[in-house]
Structure 1
Amino acid sequence: MHVAQWKKYGMLMPFLYAIAGRDALTNRFEIEAGLEKGGYR
């Protein structure tokens, strides 16, 4: 869940997310948050 990621990474989260890429299927933050919960298959 992204809330837990924000708690873990704090203000670095937007930068780390941007570096991880726009493709949700390869973005580690989307994968950790749960792709199916986010509507990705």
Structure 2
Amino acid sequence: GGIQVCGNAQNCVAVCPKEIPLTTSIARAGRAATVYSLKKCLER
């Protein structure tokens, strides 16, 4: 589960009743998590 397993198939965007750009949001969250993890790893 989680954002790292999103297949980016756009299915969630197609059915979102509020027209939220979910794949874009998920991608941004994934990048932010990666950057955070790398920064934490390099601080040591």
Q: Give the TM-score normalised by structure 1.
A: 0.27
More helix by share: 2
TM-score with structure 2 setting the length: 0.25
Q: Which one has the largest radius of gyration?
A: 2
